[in-house]
Amino acid sequence: MVASIATSAFFPVPSSSSAASLKNSKTIGEGSESLNVRRIAAAKPASSSSAMQVKANAQAVPKINGSNVCLKPETLKHDEDTPSSVPRTFYNQLPDWSVLLAAITTIFLAAEKQWTLIDWKPRRQDILADAFGLGKFVQDGLAFRQNFSIRSYEIGADRTASIETLMNHLQETALNHVRIAGLMDDGFGSTPEMSKRNLIWVVAKMHVFVEKYPAWGDVVQVDTWVSPSGKNGMRRDWHVIDCQTGESIVKATSVWVMMNKNTRKLAKMPDEVRSEIGPYFIERAAVVDEDSRKLPKLDHNTAQHVRKSLTPRWGDLDVNQHVNNVKYIGWILESAPTSILESHELAGMTLEYRRECRRDSVLQSLTSVSTECSDGLQGTAMECVHLLQLENGDEIIRGRTKWRPKRTGLQQHGALATAST
C-alpha cells in the first residue's frame, strides 16, 4: 500500500471524471430552444447566403428565455473540447527530479540515523557499557559483573569514595546477582525455597582489603561470585577494579548463613535451597586471605575510646527489619580517634557479626588502638580493635581495622599527572 501511494504521488493518473467531461457535449438550455455549440462549430456553409446567415447568427448575442447568453469564441471552445494533439509518454509524466532527489536523500538520512542508534558503541573506555546498571553474567554465567560511577554525594572530605560507598556497591552487586539469576523472591536476597521456609541470609564474617579509593567521576567494575562454605554456609567474594586503568581497588570475601525470619535463630540449609543455588557455586579459593587471628573482646576497662547512645534511624533498616550490615561499619568508626581519621586511611578490616540490631536498639562503640597516633608516628601503619555492643553488653560485632598513612597532596598530584600521561 505504501509503495502504491508513493508511486501515485510521482505518477498521477487521469481521473475518470475529467475524461468523461471531454465526451460530454456543451449544451445550453433545454428542449427546442437549446443551442448546441458543437453543432454550430461543426456546421459547413452550403452557399454564400447561408454563410452570411451563419455569420450573422454568430455575431448576434443569443437569448434564452429572454436572457442574454455569453458564448466563448469558437476557437476557444474547439481547443477546450478537442483533446491535446501531443501524445502522452513516460517522459512527459516523470516528476520533478529535484523533488525526487530530495525525498531519496531524506529517506537515506533517516535510515542512517536509525542505524547509528542501533549500532551505538561507546568511544571512551570510561563510558558504561551497562548503561542502565543492570549488570551481566560473565565467566560462563558463574560470575556477575556490574559497573558503578562514583557520585558527588558518595565522596568524603578526601574527595574519594568512602568505605560505606564501596560496601554498598558490594551489597548491590550481590543482590542483583540473585535477582538477574531469577532466584530472588520476596525477601532480601532470599530464593523461592527460602521464602517458603521463612529463611533469610545473614552475614557471619567479612574480610575487606582496600588497595585504593576511587575519586569522584571514576567508574568501577565489581565482579562477584559464590562458593560453598561448610555444610550450611555460602561464601561470596568480590573484586573491584578501575574501569579506566584496570587497577585493583577492593578485594573482599564473606561468609553467609541462614536465619529463620520468625524465630530469629540460625537454621540449616535445606536440600531444596542447596539445589537452587548449587549450580552457581564456583570451586575456587577466597579472593582474600582471611585473617585467622582471634578477635579480642573489649570492655570499658580495655577500650581507649568509647562512643555511647548510638541508635538506628528508620532509614538504617532493610526489608528484613534489621539494621543493614553496612551501617555497622559507620558505627565502628564513630569511636575511632580523629587523629587517625585525619592522617590515615582505612586499608582493611575484619568483621565478625554476632547478633542482629533492631530498630529499638541502643548501642555503644568501643575502640582500642594498638599503636597510638601522635605527631611523630604519622608515617607508620596502625591497627585498631573494635566492639559494637548493646547497652546491656550483648555483642553485635567484633572487628579489627588496619590503617595506612594518607598520600600527601604532592603524591596525589604526581599520581594524577602519571595517569594523565
- Residues with catalytic roles: 320, 322, 357
Specify whether the CB–CB gap between 382 and 340 falls below 8 A: yes
Cα three-residue angle 263-266-267, rounded to 5 degrees: 95
Residue type, 265: K
For residue 188, which of 353, 335, 318 has the smallest C-alpha distance?
318
For residue 225, which of 149, 147, 285 has the smallest C-alpha distance?
285
How far is the C-alpha of 183 from the C-alpha of 123, rounded, in Å? 35
Residue 126 grid coordinates: 570510561
Residue pointed to by grid coordinates 475518470: 16
* Four-CA torsion 119, 125, 131, 133, nearest 10 degrees: 150
Residues whose CB is less than 8 angstroms from the CB of residue 404 and which lie 6 or more positions away in sequence, other chains included? 344, 345, 347, 381
Report the SS3 class of residue 233.
Answer: strand
Specify whether the CB–CB gap between 384 and 373 falls below 8 A: no
